[in-house]
Amino acid sequence: MSEKIAPADTCVLVTGGAGFIGSHTVVELLSGGYKVVVVDDLSNASRKVFDRIKTIVGDDAAANLTFYEADVNDRPALTKIFDEHHPDRVIHFAGFKAVGESVSKPIEYYSNNIGNTLTLVDVMREHGCKSIIFSSSATVYGDPDSLPLTEESPKKMATNPYGWTKWMIEQILTDLHTADPEWNVVLLRYFNPIGAHPSGLMGEDPKGIPNNLVPYVAQTAIGKRDAVHVFGNDYDTPDGTGVRDYIHVVDLATGHVAALAWMNGRQGVEIFNLGTGTGTSVLQIIEAFSKACGHEIPYVIEARRPGDVTANYADCSKARDLMGWEAKFNIEDMCRDSWNWQSHNPNGYEG
């Protein structure tokens, strides 16, 4: 049984804590009174996010934050950090996440995402830290047989190396608990995280052409892109475009704080869906974003994107019943906050 500890006495090591979901989670952890150690190699994030975090949480809470620029796969560096801070819990976000890129760079994706997880859990084990929350994805459900998706819905074959890394890391962490039941593993399956911090100080900062819908819509709204390419309007959905369960990144962040509180003093493996339970189509997103930014957003209909599923959305009753967590923001809130971030930071953190 892992020891039950109060937030003020809990050191949480956050890998990938400078990234989109990581940075929002760090804000909620600091606001919740936790001590936070971030390990991030800044390969897809900016150091400037830490100034923004400090502005949001204030000096007192920010004093509980330590940042190390290091690769999680750098065992000597990670060992030193564990020696120094003796983290009680780990939230593991660090990983490559571009689906298309993973198809052309499978070795890099497997080596980075799986390699860093193996290094991380080995160093955790050496230091007697056996509590981990892993950033998984609804991608493990593949093309669903029925909706909404519950945690009991079957895992399906992944359609790309990125998806396989999520799939396999879930298995690795489950096997770890089988071998040593003292491990305390929470697998959080995110649906589609969008939005930005309501302050307008933090948000998604994709490098190059965005792969995901909402960052692309946001860049079209600001005039950086000519039109949104809608990938297919012949799906079996109300308007023919793909349906997803979009979740505000702040709701996702509070989901991690809820998971930390829930796992406190437990051991086992538990899976939670983090979504809103509501499906929204591509055209509904474009419409909601047009309202948020105050002008029409041009779009063109294109062919389907290979590997895309028709629709997915979550049943989130398990997270509500066990952890007392529920998403609070709706699509209008998500688009408003994305637009607030995009319009005030047209070039992201480097702007």
Scan for tokens 């608990």, then name that residue.
177
Q: Which two tokens stand for residue 288?
A: 């909601």
- Pick 110 or 231: Cβ nearer ligand WQD: 231
305 binds ligand WQD (CB under 6 A): yes
Closest CA to 37 of 96, 77, 95, 97: 77
Which of 34, 68, 141, 162 is catalytic? The answer is 162
Cis peptide before 154 (omega within 30 of 0): no
Residue 156 has phi, psi (to 5 degrees) of: -115, 170
Assess 192 for contact with ligand WQD (CB under 6 A): yes
What are the φ/ψ torsions at residue 157 (nearest 5 degrees)? -55, 135
Task: Decide if residue 308 touches ligand WQD (CB under 6 A).
Answer: yes
Judged by CB under 6 A, the residue of 213, 249, 314, 327 near ligand WQD is 213
H-helix or E-strand spanning residue 69: strand 65-69
Instruction: Give whichever of 62 and 301 is closer to ligand WQD, judged by the CB atom.
Output: 301
**DSSP-derived 3-state class of residue 103:** helix
| Shortest CB 323 distance to ligand WQD, Å | 22
C-beta of 226: minimal distance to ligand WQD in Å?
12
The nearer residue to ligand WQD, 187 or 230, going by C-beta atoms, is 230
Q: What gap in Å lies between CA 191 and CA 204, rounded to an integer?
A: 16
Under the criterion CB under 6 A, does residue 211 sit at the interface with ligand WQD? yes
Per-residue x/- track, 134-163, ligand WQD (CB under 6 A): ---x-x------------------------
CB of 200 to ligand WQD, least distance (A): 22
Q: Which residues of 43-81 are buried (b: 16+ CB within 10 A; e: fewer)?
A: ebbbeebbebbbebbeeebbebbebbebbbbbeebbeeb
The contact mask relative to ligand WQD for 89-128 (x = CB under 6 A, - = no) is --------x-x-----------------------------
Q: Does residue number 22 form part of the binding site for ligand WQD (CB under 6 A)?
A: no
Going 287 to 290 to 294 to 300, the CA torsion angle's sign is negative
Distance in Å, CB of 76 to ligand WQD, minimum: 29
186 binds ligand WQD (CB under 6 A): no
Q: Near ligand WQD by CB under 6 A, which window of 177-185, 205-213, 258-266, 324-332?
A: 205-213
Q: What share of the chain is helix, strand, coil (3-state, %, to 5)?
A: 40, 20, 40
3-class state of residue 190 by DSSP: strand
Rounded to the nearest whole angstrom, what is the least distance from the CB of residue 110 to ligand WQD in the complex? 16
- Closer CB to ligand WQD, 32 or 95, in the complex: 95
Measured CA to CA, the distance from residue 312 to residue 38 in angstroms comes to: 32
Q: What is the DSSP string of 192-260?
A: EEE---TTSS-----SSS--SHHHHHHHHHTTSSS-EEEE-S-SSSTTSS-EE-EEEHHHHHHHHHHHH
The answer to whether 224 contacts ligand WQD (rule: CB under 6 A) is no
Tokens for 326, please give them: 């529920």
Kindly state the number of chain residues that form the binding site for ligand WQD, as judged by CB under 6 A.
17
Minimum CB separation from ligand WQD for residue 11, in Å? Answer: 27
- Strand 243-244 versus strand 280-281 pairing type: antiparallel
Q: Does 244 bind ligand WQD (CB under 6 A)?
A: yes
Which of residues 282, 283, 288, 335 is near ligand WQD by CB under 6 A?
Answer: 282
Kindly state the smallest distance separating residue 349's Cβ from ligand WQD, in Å: 19
Q: Does 229 bind ligand WQD (CB under 6 A)?
A: yes
**Is 235 marked active-site?**
no
Q: Which residues are catalytic?
A: 162
Interface residues with ligand WQD (CB under 6 A) are 97, 99, 137, 139, 192, 211-213, 216, 229-231, 242, 244, 282, 305, 308
